[in-house]
Amino acid sequence: MLPNSWTRFAETALSRITRRQLFERGGIFTAAGALASTASTAASAPPQRGLSAPADMYESLGVRTLINARGTVTIVGGSKMLPEVRQAMDHASNQFVQIDELMEAVGKRLGELTGAEWGVVTAGSGAAMTLGTAACVAGGDPDKLARLPDLDGMKDEVVIPSDSRNVYEHSVRCAGVRIIEAATAEAFEAALGPRTAMVMVMARRDTDQGPMSLRNLSAIASRHGVPILVDAAAEGLVVPNPHLERGASMVAYSGGKCIRGPQCAGLLLGKKNLVQAAWIHGAPHHGFARGMKVGREEIMGMLAATEAWMTRDHEAEFATWVSWMEHIAARVDQVPGVSTDLLMPEGRGNHTPRLMIEWDPKRIQLTGFDMEQILWDGEPRIAVSGAGSFLPFPPNLTPNISVTAYTMDAGEEKIIADRLVEVLRNPPDRRKATKPPAADLSGRWDVHLDFLNATGKHTFTLEQSGSDINGTHHGEYIARDLTGSISGNEVVIQSAYQKGVRLSYDFSGSVRGDAMSGDVLLGEYGAARWRAHRHVQQITGADVEKGPAASERRK
């Protein structure tokens, strides 16, 4: 069950989001119905002027820019490309080449730079994982490639350690494979068999430790002839490659994070036969992964970023980031009730200093989520902690935020410090009074949802105690716990599930008798409309004819 503190938060936070804000924050993911009316209005509207000069192009579209002190997350744009990357992409766009010939030369050069046998540029780390999976399943065989993701008669299982399960494994599953989870080394070896195409491991701090370390898993997998793909999206290009040294066959990297290449590019490094087979399964070749295309611009931009990585002064960069965090800390530490803690990275992923800022909630009555939203809605817009995601779940209800250094530019540390001091010295009142519940919602409810271009039928099983609601949300994918509250006739219900997928439903609305309706936030998937009716037990004709005795005999 989710904590009741989240229930209290949700009632407050969601009540502050107007219907208009709800759908504006969903971006293009507006509710079904609203989309149709907008389209009809746009059809008769006069054409707008073109984009403004580069410095103002986002503003000319009505899109706000932001200071990214959150990190290299995709939703706020990843990182900024290096100047040499932009130059390489610009030059590459001015001439034509045969793409296979280009990747052959670049693949060899990537191997020389990184110490891997071979490398290819992909459409992000997710595409690297998909293509790597396809290489393990079909191996460059055109007849098998033509059938993907139909794996009938082929190896169709991928084994993943329990602590590596994550939302990015969709990139593996889309090749048609079935995920087999293993929690122990014994279960891992038992899971390997004739249908095992690959093992997928998520790079993390403890990947190198214990019985489920990459080295141990590699030793087991090699006995069965099974390759291992490591998802190291958030890491830099350490040479020699630590994952390949520990027995991995392939490693996937994001190009648009700390490597500072094109945002929509990535790298797949590893054994030459597998990496070259991965390339064959994607564009410019036809078939399964044609849509995962990289052009000459991304290929050369990613090569330029890799070349630059090898010559960048990483120690000087890190020292600069630390100085920015120390400047912010020195400023906000002067506010009564505020303390800071400079955190140094402990692993290879997201290798950047972070500043944790904490305050006394008795003096400053704001949650971390409150602070995120205040900075996000202010001018300039500043992203910290989880800001920029569509109502993160669960939100940060503790009195702290984190500031991340390595996506910031020089001078932004002063802007962030000034804004934080301003808010912490004069915090706005974000509290909201609650009302006694106007109804008891206990029971089963049939829920209808209207998505962008689909409808869904879900079920709530609710138990209400005072204003608190608990129970189960039965969706079309899986059942998960829910929690919520009722204030007057206003209802808030939340559920979440995260294991291989990330599902978040935040229902807000009102109750009238045996009916409820309102809006639902779907996390990163936008918004929808919902309505629910209390389920009424159907009485069969036999029960009506034979009376209570018939029902009693069935018990």
| Half-sphere exposure (Cβ direction) of 518: Cα atoms closer than 13 Å | 23
Q: What is the end-to-end Cα distance of the chain in Å, rounded?
A: 32
- In this predicted structure, the answer to whether residue 29 has a pLDDT above a threshold of 80 is no
pLDDT band at 12 (very low <50, low <70, confident <90, very high): very low
pLDDT (0 to 100) of residue 162: 93
Q: What residue ranges do the domains of the chain occupy?
A: 1-16+437-555, 63-74+315-425, 83-311
Name the average pLDDT for the chain: 88
Angle at 72 between CA 66 and CA 74, to 5 degrees: 80
| Contact in structure between 199 and 179 (CB atoms under 8 Å) | no
Backbone angles phi, psi at 331, to 5 degrees: -75, -50
pLDDT (0 to 100) of residue 550: 39
pLDDT (0 to 100) of residue 393: 58
pLDDT in tens, 303-358: 999 999 999 999 999 999 999 999 999 999 999 999 999 999 988 888 899 999 99
pLDDT (0 to 100) of residue 53: 64
3-class DSSP state of 371: helix
- Topology alike, domains 63-74+315-425 and 83-311: no
The mean per-residue pLDDT over the stretch 535-555 comes to 47
- Looking at the chain, how many residues does it have? 555
Phi-psi region of 429 (alpha: psi -120 to 50; beta: other; left: phi over 0): beta
The mean per-residue pLDDT over the stretch 109-129 comes to 97
pLDDT in tens, 199-240: 999 998 777 788 999 999 999 999 999 999 999 999 999 999
- In this predicted structure, the answer to whether residue 3 has a pLDDT above a threshold of 80 is no
Helix (H) or strand (E) holding 146: none
Smallest CA-to-CA distance from 200 within 156, 256, 250, 271 is with 250
**Fold designation for 63-74+315-425:** Aspartate Aminotransferase, domain 1 (3.90.1150)
CA distances from 349 to 121, 425, 472 (A): 20, 35, 36
Q: What is the 3-state secondary structure (H, E, C) of 393-456?
A: CCCCCCCEEEEECCCCCCCHHHHHHHHHHHHHHCCCCCCCCCCCECCCCCEEEEEEEECCCCEE
Order the strands of the 354-359 sheet from edge to edge.
338-343, 354-359, 400-404
- In this predicted structure, the answer to whether residue 540 has a pLDDT above a threshold of 60 is no
pLDDT band at 19 (very low <50, low <70, confident <90, very high): very low
The verdict on whether omega for the bond into residue 284 sits within 30 degrees of 0, i.e. cis, is: yes
- In this predicted structure, the answer to whether residue 46 has a pLDDT above a threshold of 70 is no
Q: Which CATH superfamily is domain 1-16+437-555 in?
A: Quinohemoprotein amine dehydrogenase alpha subunit, domain 2 (2.40.128.120)
Does the predicted model carry a pTM greater than 0.95?
Answer: no
pLDDT in tens, 53-88: 677 889 889 999 999 999 999 999 999 999 999 999
Distance CA 372, CA 381 (A): 10
pLDDT in tens, 162-198: 999 988 999 999 999 999 999 999 999 999 999 999 9
Residue 218 tokens, joined = 């590699």
**Fold designation for 83-311:** Aspartate Aminotransferase; domain 2 (3.40.640)
Distance CA 18, CA 399 (A): 25
